[in-house]
Structure 1
Amino acid sequence: MQLQEKIYVFLCALFVVLIVVSNLVYQKFVYLPIFSIYTFELSVGAIFYPVTFLITNLISEFYGKEKAQFCVRLATSINILVLCIISFMGYLQATTWSKIDNNTFDSVFGAYSVSLFGSITASYTAQMIDIRLYLLIRKLTNNKYLFLRNLSSAISLFIDTSIVVIFVTVIGVVPYEQMISLIFNSYLFKLFFTIATTPIFYYVVYFIRSRN
């Protein structure tokens, strides 16, 4: 296997892991202080989620639209598979001596199946828009202004954040009075993360190009 293929497989695997884990842990909401400047209130699932857009940007940059879209479709398929496995496990009755009883299991994973629809819809739509937008900006700028292509994710992230937060509010995971605040905090964090990791994006692009 060539190095370029290994990098692509690694990026796809990391993308799938981040998507699945983000969906599994989204029900926990935390305070996340940043340099004592601002404290975000957001789902733990949103903390590393912006990395997925950095990954699809990298794949779009070096491997093109088809392989980037394949990665997104693969993550969607794996999410559905995880849903089926968790649903089956939830259907089985816990033993009388199990430390995790049925109610505890359901309280942690019970809303996963319901929320997954909104999450998959939002993630799939936003990622596909991001891939097309990234490549469009690349074409319009004649392959210049790498930072601008990376920051284009901010538009897709807003779409994703809004859909997910509204959906989990409707199904009762988030109180209605927290919805606007959560959209604001989640998007602000993702925007901050995207800007802050732009130097990392530059470095990874340089690293991959130097290995060609």
Structure 2
Amino acid sequence: MIYMDIREKTYVSLCAIFSVLVTTGNLIYQKFVYLPLLSFYTFELSVGAIIYPFTFMVADIIAEFYGVEKAKFCVRLSVIMNIMVAFIVIIATRLEATVWSKVSNPEFAHIFGSFNVAFISSIIASYAAQSLDVILYMRIKKLSRGKFLLLRSNLSTAISLLIDTTLVISLLAIFDVLPKEQALILIVNSYMYKLFFTLCSNPLFYFLVKGAKYIGINPARFS
């Protein structure tokens, strides 16, 4: 019987959570909503973008305790999972619906018809941004000698989120998945929300890092 210690179990769990969040975000990305989180401002963004900042938190936790290479592996794993999901969706879209199916061919195609373009755009942006995030996170950690936990998380995430948001929405607009005239406002709204979420989630990130240390998971070496 192969035994997994708490460190290995936590890594596998974090990779699973990361992949689920990325895949789910890609599946629901095409619905755009109003999100009135603030009394003076209403965010206008994709529902996929609502959960997406969680992926950067998870990636930073993986980088903190397991290093760049294992964090990058997790990012690549999510890409493979998304490719598998996209392949399944393509097959499902091409299959003929029964006469009694509650979802007809046109309805299913309307929901997932642009999924391939959205998927490709999202996965390109996600892979580039997440890879940059873990590299920046560990670089800042090394320069600060392991100090300023929240600073390295916020700074690496803020830069990476800007690249991700700009890239994915620009690609969706170029391929006419989104109206081009809405691209700029969606970039601004999505980035503002993600940055707002990142700052608000600092206590949760700090608690999770301290909790991991408490149960005996040591941070990755940065020297």
Q: Do these two structures clear the TM 0.5 threshold for a shared fold by scoring above it? A: yes
The alpha-carbon deviation at position 37 of structure 1 amounts to 3.0
- Please give the residue correspondences for 1:131-210 in structure 2 after superposition, counting only pairs within 5 Å: 131-151=134-154, 152-210=156-214
SS in 2 for 1:64: helix
Deviation at 1:98, TM superposition (A): 1.2
In structure 1, the residue corresponding to 2:98 is in which secondary structure? coil
- Residue 30 of structure 1, aligned match among 6, 10, 33: 33
RMSD, aligned CA? 0.8
| Counterpart-to-counterpart distance in 1, 2:143 and 2:200 | 24
Amino acid in structure 2 at the alignment position of 1:122: A
- Greater Cα shift, 135-144 or 33-42: 33-42
CA distance in 1, matches of 2:45, 2:16: 25
Kindly report which structure 2 residues correspond to 1:80-99, keeping only aligned pairs within 5 A, or say none. 80-99=83-102
Deviation at residue 40 of structure 1 after TM alignment: 0.1
Tell me which amino acid in the other structure corresponds to 2:39.
S
CA distance in 2, matches of 1:10, 1:184: 32
The alignment partner of 2:33 has SS state of: strand
1:57 aligns with 2:79: no
Corresponding residue of 2:20: 17
Q: 2:88 and 2:178 mapped to 1: Cα distance?
A: 25
Structure 1 stretches of 5 or more lacking a match?
A: none
Hey, what does 1:8 align to over in structure 2? 11
Q: CA deviation at 1:177?
A: 1.3
Deviations 1:29-81 (A, max 9, x none): 00001142321000000001000000010000001111100100000000000
What is the aligned counterpart of 1:100 among 89, 99, 103? 103
Out of 117, 124, 128, the position equivalent to 1:114 is: 117
Q: Secondary structure at the match of 2:100?
A: coil
- Bigger mean CA offset, 32-41 vs 64-73: 32-41
Regions of 4+ moved over 4 Å: none
Letter of the aligned partner of 1:187 in structure 2? Y
The code of the aligned residue for 2:74 comes to: C
Q: How far off is 1:7 after superposition?
A: 1.2
TM-score (norm 2): 0.93
Distance 1:25 1:46 in 2: 9
Amino acid at match of 1:39: T
Deviations 1:166-212 (A, max 9, x none): 11112222111111100000000000011110111110010000111
The alignment's TM-score, normalised by the length of structure 1, stands at: 0.98
The aligned residue for residue 132 of structure 2 is: 129
